[in-house]
Structure 1
């Protein structure tokens, strides 16, 4: 009886947290740096016959503003859209400094107006569902801000690119735009008892300035009405699937959201379970998150920090992104110099940049045709990787296998 008395208020709080969760992802709280659509935006061409574009969601916490700015400069391209989100534990001064730096540092960003910073930030409890709420909110904001992007990319302040945006756009030009790159499996193993069955309540959803969670003493059964899939929280999702998640035309997105509100590490299961349980999207998955990471064996909660000894293996992987990096680690400078040809405090140059590079001149301070790309030799390695992954998908390997 004592347990029942305790569980009831927990479920009540869970219901309230769900209501707040849904309200958190429905509001538009991005603070636009630009009061109106800049004239440069009209130069961008979107559509099935044009190169693809990406909607980047870059998230971070207190003290991550500088890292997020560096990451933005490394992955910037006028064709893409970007939303930067510092969680609510970051002071307003850091959020304002990030927005100011974004606006003032890069002429192209001022001209194209394709970078925004979330003004009213929410919680991002790593173990709870508030991080999922923040991601869904970001997806909704990017859908509202820009109609042209084709894939939604999630990055954190600890991530960094291993190829240029010209390379990424070039290779993805031959990828069907309905595909979803998401690492997933239904082989739960130890996660079934330690991740799937525990019941939690994320305090960050209903308590101000909190980022912890409560766990019930009781567990619930593994779902039977849908198949539970889990995997990497870092995803590259198609626009059509993101639209389904936000304004889904059947009830599956909301049904799963009800369940995942009280799941540990819900970002490691929500999108995975949704895409693999949806008849319309279960054949659109590529079982890879396109991130390079170094793990213990067996894997621990987080991957190793990447450093100089990892460089050759990292580049040899042909993957477009890697994590995790410590702030200003020398390996980031090596990536900038050897892979991205990027100078400090400047964006990664591409075919869209029209000024000759020099010690004092920014090659991207002026631009030409932003709808063309110039791939580097690294693009061929990435193309070979993508072709192999698409061949595995076509053969029915590793995709939403039950």
Structure 2
């Protein structure tokens, strides 16, 4: 169908596990738009008896005609297979739909806080699609990130799903208790983010087709939690993509509540108050967020989702003037939040380029975390190369006879 002016098509990838399978049909209905693309992956560990009725319900819904199911793979929680599954989805969506502009990865435990039309318009605004902006969180400070990555990437782990065994055998990440010699020698700086991203099609194509991305993927192949490191490390260690990075994943994720920090998993945003099952603990945060999506939910078709649809996102018709006003306020708030994220990241890029210029003026290499070594095939650490391609001198040197 023809794309309305001022909108871009979006490709959604939704990873589904056994625990969040019941939430999928409603999520798909909330995301539905005839011009978008949708790829759903069901972990092979989901029992067929549980999966069959969910698939049948989706196929029977005319609103979900654009939804496509990927071939099922075994995905190991915290393993490299999670990254490989995202890469499979990127390839799948690039082949399935030639016109989308943005790739959004979700789990079935996510839910939108704005309507599909609004997402399409927001991503088409100046400074976003036209600038090739990519959205991912970047954890800080880097000293803490270095400690985390030394444990996750600086040691060797094996994802047993790579053995192509059946799901009945189970999957695990097995620590080898051996240092990874590649980590200490790496010219690139490992970064950390949450695993949720909005990526421009240009970067998606680079991720699945470039030599630099393939080499970096191999470097992460024997690590743990690679989904929180691989994509953001690729973004920040190449000059073109570092300039495109907006350090905000546009999700509401609650990691701290009333002074108590979550550890491995965030809070469920549809939890109710301990003494009042009708009062949702995070309803206020959801209604005032500047994010496009929130996570994690665990109750399918809850009253909270009905309220969000009606008075926050506008996915469902407003039942009152107050509902309509709430939807209008959400749109304005999210638009302003997006503009603030773009401005903050522009300042961050300017500061980085200033440090590069100062180092060059002093005849020194930039600090390691300011370098973009994936721009050149030999590593190096000099000035960034526009576009992340090999400089002409390197191409000629490679082609010259010995």
Band of TM-score, shorter chain: 0.7 to 0.9
Q: 1:170 to 1:74 in 2, by over 3 A?
A: same
SS at match of 1:230: coil
Whole-Å Cα distance in 2 between the matches of residues 265 and 349 of structure 1? Answer: 40
Q: 1:97 to 1:256 in 2, by over 3 A?
A: same
SS at match of 1:304: coil
Q: Does 1:333 align with 2:306?
A: yes
Superimposed CA distance per residue, residues 60-115 of structure 1 (whole angstroms, 9 cap, x where no aligned partner): 1125333111111111111211011110011234444333222212x3434xxx21
Deviation at residue 399 of structure 1 after TM alignment: 9.0
Deviation at residue 223 of structure 1 after TM alignment: 4.8
Deviation at residue 189 of structure 1 after TM alignment: 4.5
Whole-Å Cα distance in 2 between the matches of residues 176 and 382 of structure 1? Answer: 14
Q: Does 1:384 align with 2:384?
A: no
Q: Does 1:76 align with 2:39?
A: no
Whole-Å Cα distance in 1 between the matches of residues 329 and 221 of structure 2? Answer: 44
Superimposed CA distance per residue, residues 117-157 of structure 1 (whole angstroms, 9 cap, x where no aligned partner): 12x31112121011111111011000000011111101101
Whole-Å Cα distance in 2 between the matches of residues 340 and 389 of structure 1? Answer: 20
Can you give the 5+ residue segments of structure 2 that lack an aligned partner in the other structure?
271-279, 320-326, 353-368, 371-402
Matches within 5 A, 1:11-90: 43-45=1-3, 51-90=7-46
In the alignment of these two chains, the number of paired residues is 323
- Between 1:381-390 and 1:297-306, the stretch displaced more is 297-306
Q: 1:238 to 1:116 in 2, by over 3 A?
A: same
CA contact (8 A) 1:55 1:149 kept: yes
Superimposed CA distance per residue, residues 338-379 of structure 1 (whole angstroms, 9 cap, x where no aligned partner): 22445xxxxx579xxxxxx9xxxxxxxxxxxxxxxxx84321
Whole-Å Cα distance in 2 between the matches of residues 376 and 298 of structure 1? Answer: 32
Deviation at residue 276 of structure 1 after TM alignment: 1.0
Can you give the 5+ residue segments of structure 1 that lack an aligned partner in the other structure?
1-42, 343-347, 351-356, 358-374
1:283 aligns with 243
Q: Does 1:205 align with 2:162?
A: yes
Q: 1:317 to 1:380 in 2, by over 3 A?
A: same
Choose between structure 1 and 2: higher helix proportion: 2
Deviation at residue 331 of structure 1 after TM alignment: 2.2
Structure of higher RCO (CA pairs closer than 8 Å, 6+ residues apart): 1
CA contact (8 A) 2:155 2:223 kept: yes
Whole-Å Cα distance in 1 between the matches of residues 33 and 351 of structure 2? Answer: 31
Matches within 5 A, 1:2-401: 43-45=1-3, 51-105=7-61, 107-110=62-65, 114-118=66-70, 120-174=71-125, 175-177=127-129, 178-185=132-139, 187=142, 188-206=145-163, 207-209=165-167, 210-220=170-180, 221-248=183-210, 251-296=211-256, 298-307=261-270, 308-328=280-300, 329-342=302-315, 376-396=328-348
Deviation at residue 303 of structure 1 after TM alignment: 0.4
CA contact (8 A) 2:235 2:241 kept: yes
SS at match of 1:89: coil
SS at match of 1:313: helix
Q: 1:253 to 1:54 in 2, by over 3 A?
A: same
Deviation at residue 298 of structure 1 after TM alignment: 4.9
Deviation at residue 170 of structure 1 after TM alignment: 2.0
Q: 1:224 to 1:144 in 2, by over 3 A?
A: same
SS at match of 1:395: helix
SS at match of 1:190: helix
Deviation at residue 50 of structure 1 after TM alignment: 5.0
Root-mean-square deviation (CA), in Å?
A: 2.4
